[in-house]
Chains A and B, each alone.
Chain A
Amino acid sequence: NAGVTQTPKFQVLKTGQSMTLQCAQDMNHNSMYWYRQDPGMGLRLIYYSASEGTTDKGEVPNGYNVSRLNKREFSLRLESAAPSQTSVYFCASRQGQGAPYNEQFFGPGTRLTVL
């Protein structure tokens, strides 16, 4: 049982390049999330998916797109990377849909640098 996995662990991009961050969970959770964390800051929600087939914006969605490919996978795409998107990106999942508690399980993060 791997929990939440993220790929890649590290990535360096040049301004204007695109890339997709991958996230998968094996806990049969309904809800999945993407956060970013800048140095010395707390996490900020980018997008979330309350169930397969639905996505919603979080606090900082600009510059990102997401795809809930299936129940297991939730990807985050940067179409044209900017230096301001240099950050650590965390994916999380939660049982959701009737679960009474908001316990989210987090992946190990992807460290992205945009030059």
Chain B
Amino acid sequence: DAKTTQPPSMDCAEGRAANLPCNHSTISGNEYVYWYRQIHSQGPQYIIHGLKNNETNEMASLIITEDRKSSTLILPHATLRDTAVYYCIPPTNFGNEKLTFGTGTRLTIIP
């Protein structure tokens, strides 16, 4: 099964860009990369996904390397409300029902 590697924790100053890395070197085929976050014991929240191109939505940007073996989630102007655990989900194929959540990166936004 595909795996991901994320740093266990990171800090970022409020108002700065938060860059969260993820290694998914076993990615293959048409597997998508998904990012979710979990704010203080709430249910996880979908952020963004990507296949091979960089993606941007109202929450974040996702930069995927050309070989697709790693990606970076960017929160462009971090706020205190962005303090959360961020999960880089191991790549899954189109229509695969299962998502696997590891322990993620605990991002702390510092005032």
Contact = CB atoms under 8 A, between A and B. Distances in A.
Contact of B42 (A40, A105, A108): A108
Contacts of B101: 35, 42-44
Interface residues of B, number: 24
Interface of B: 32, 34, 36, 41-46, 49, 87, 89, 92, 94-104
A42 B87 CA distance: 9
Contacts, number: 62
Contacts of B94: 100
> Interface size for chain A: under 10, 10 to 19, 20 to 34, or 35 or more residues?
20 to 34
Contacts of B97: 31, 33, 48, 50, 56, 94, 96, 102
Given A90-B44, A96-B97, A102-B99, 19 more contacts: A35-B101, A40-B103, A41-B103, A44-B101, A45-B100, A48-B98, A94-B97, A100-B94, A100-B95, A101-B49, A102-B89, A103-B34, A104-B99, A105-B46, A106-B42, A106-B43, A106-B45, A108-B42, A109-B42
